[in-house]
Structure 1
Amino acid sequence: MGFRVAVVGATGNVGREVLNILAERDFPASEIIAIASRKSIGQTAMYGDKELKVVALDTFDPKGVDIALFAAGSGVAKEYAPKFGKAGCVVIDNSSHYRMDPDVPLVVPEVNPDALKDFAKKNIIANPNCSTAQMLVALKPLHDAATIKRVVVSTYQSVSGSGNAAMDELFTQTRAIFVNDPIVKEVYTKQIAFNVIPHIDVFMDDGYTKEEWKMVAETHKMLDPNIKLTATAVRVPVFVGHSEAINIEFEKPLSEKDARKILREAPGCLVIDKREDGGYITPIECVGDFATYISRIREDKTVDHGLNIWVVSDNLRKGAALNAVQIAESLLNQGLLKVS
């Protein structure tokens, strides 16, 4: 016996990764259902070596589905996630819509798996923002060891975080520069090819962007509301893989040697930190991998108890699809979900 699993948004970047990861990790599914909007009817989605026919979301009956992994945006989640939940299906949503809902757990399994026990209030579990997810995988074991007071993080986020159209824009702009064609800007406000843009999501009244606010709010919900955190989120001309430069101030002493040992033993973390040319991880090396890579571990001598680290992860995996599948696995491991 296995679970009936639906993937909503199966034809998008994250949806395809969800299907790949379900197959790679041999999730105990008796049936996988690929769901997308009506415009995707006639398309197929790959699940391992199986070709799944895409079905339309607006006419799909969720009754009898055990788990639905949503990778289709906030509008779709707002309309359809409650319908799936009321039908008895556990929804794991990758959009931002439910993240701050007090009745919806926001979960990174390596960080706060105990929060899953409250999922039945709405039958919805939220997946955090991609940049927050990889950051907290690295921060959680360090926080347990020495209690984090303050974090300053600068992100270097790939265009895949904005979807297929953004990846196409990076490609076409790069090509245009080499062949002397006009630069067309449709997804981003400024040229992304050979450039960096310090602007992700909308601007808020205080001058921060919503992406930066998400990192603060989600850290407070999942890790510790007492952590002071400030973020600068930057889009960079990389197809896949988010990077973060993180400065951490602790309440207690924590040497770089101890931090390195803690991170080497922490779930989901992989330390690659040699003080030599190439002794660190870059985004291109993390693509297709499950780990959150940590490099450049060093003490910050400007504060009493400070460290700097460099964190890199495949945003389509740990930042989205992998975390969603790990949430489903954690539900099973904790005995919170049974086959219907």
Structure 2
Amino acid sequence: MGYKVAVVGATGNVGREMLNILAERAFPADEVVALASRRSLGTEVSYGDKTLKTKDLALYDFSDTDICLMSAGGDVAREWAPKIGAQGCVVIDNSSAWRYDQDVPLIVPEVNADAIAGFSKRNIIANPNCSTAQLVVALKPLHDLWGIRRVVVATYQSVSGAGKEAMDELFTQTRAVFVTDPVEAKKFPKRIAFNVIPHIDVFMEDGTTKEEWKMMVETKKILDPKIKLTATCVRVPVFVGHSEAVNIEFERPVTAEEARDVLRSAPGCLVIDKHEPGGYITPYEAAGEDATYISRIREDATVENGLSLWIVADNLRKGAALNAIQIAESLINRKLIAARKRAA
């Protein structure tokens, strides 16, 4: 018997990607239900060769649903995840609402799949921030062998990480520049077309943005609390795909060639690293792909045991939808959940 899966936030960028990936990976679901807010009731979304009409989250009964993939924002997750979990349905939440709760595992399956067993405390599993997910996939195999002391990362994050309105704003502003119309900034604090904005999420008291804080706290929770990390998160005029320039200081000596060899065989990683024009990955090539791409692997002579890397991934997939579905697959493969019996 297959599983019954509900996708909350099915009309958003990530929700639609979740439905696409469920179909692509032939997830063992007998039934998939698309849920959204009342204002999106009846909106049609694609699931493989089927078309689903969204149902109202507030009226849906989760008592016979096995897995809920949630991508509807923090406020919705805080209100609904405990209610859904209490009905015996496992919630895999894409927002930041539950990431820092000690009773909720924060999971990237290639990195810390063993921690998934802790879901039973609340029936909730958290998906990390998109920029964290791709980072830790690359850091994990290196940390296992050489021990990471400190990470310095600068991100180049696409507008899709801020939702459909942000993508529309980049398109509208770009067109306005070409036809010499006024350029209006609504979603972002400054214009994003032909510009970069070193500001993602709200500012905190010490001048760090919350996006930067998330990367630090989540890397510690997923990988190792002893790792020191500092980040500068930047929004760039790219529709899909986050890039990261990463500098790592290790406890033990490591060469670029050793790191390259290890990353080539690491789960979820794909090394594209030729020392020639175009011998690296950009977000354009990564869009629509599942891998975390690693390029520009080189030794850093300015610090003892240092390496620099370039990491790129599709933020809607590995950074959100794909990771959530990989978590669901891990639950099934590890026999941590079983499909519930449903009325005929």
**Would you say same fold, with TM above 0.5?**
yes
Within 5 Å, which residues of 2 pair with 1:92-241?
92-241=92-241
CA distance in 2, matches of 1:195, 1:112: 36
Q: 2:307 — aligned with what?
A: 307
**Aligned match of 2:41:** 41
Q: Distance in 2 between matches of 1:118 and 1:225?
A: 18
Q: 2-side partners of 1:266 and 1:331: how far apart?
A: 21
Normalising by structure 2, report the TM-score. 0.98
One-letter code aligned to 1:156: Y
Q: Secondary structure, in 3 states, of the residue corresponding to 1:263?
A: helix
Distance 1:79 1:30 in 2: 27
Worse-matched range after superposition: 192-201 or 56-65? 56-65
Instruction: Give the distance between the partners of 1:306 and 1:334, measured in 2 at CA.
Output: 37
How far apart, CA to CA, are the structure 2 residues paired with 1:44 and 1:79?
25
Alpha-carbon shift at residue 335 of structure 1 (Å): 1.1
The list of structure 1 runs, each at least 4 consecutive aligned residues, that deviate by more than 4 angstroms after superposition, is none
Superimposed CA distance per residue, residues 34-72 of structure 1 (whole angstroms, 9 cap, x where no aligned partner): 001111112111110100111011111111100000011
Note the residue ranges of structure 1 that are not aligned, 5 or more in a row. Answer: none
State the aligned residue count. 340
Is 1:292 the counterpart of 2:292? The answer is yes
Please state whether the residue corresponding to 1:96 is helix, strand or coil: coil
> What's the secondary structure of 2:110's corresponding residue?
coil
Q: What is the percent sequence identity of the aligned residues?
A: 69
**Deviation digits for residues 156-192 of structure 1, max 9, x if unmatched?**
0000000000000000000000101111111000000
Report the Cα distance in structure 1 between the residues aligned to 2:324 and 2:338, rounded to whole angstroms: 18
3-state SS, counterpart of residue 208 of structure 1: coil
Letter in 1 for 2:154: S
Shift of 1:242: 0.1
TM-score by length of 1: 0.99
Q: Distance in 1 between matches of 2:213 and 2:14?
A: 23
- CA distance in 1 between counterparts of 2:276 and 2:46 reads 41
CA distance in 1, matches of 2:28, 2:304: 49
Superposition RMSD on alpha carbons, in Å? 0.5
> How far off is 1:320 after superposition?
0.2
Displacement of 1:304 in angstroms is: 1.4
What amino acid is aligned across from residue 317 of structure 1 in structure 2?
R
Establish whether residue 27 from structure 1 lines up as the match of residue 5 from structure 2. no
Alignment correspondent of 2:281: 281
Once the two structures are superposed, residues 88-112 of structure 1 have per-residue CA deviations (whole angstroms, 9 ceiling, x without a partner) of 0000000000000000000000110
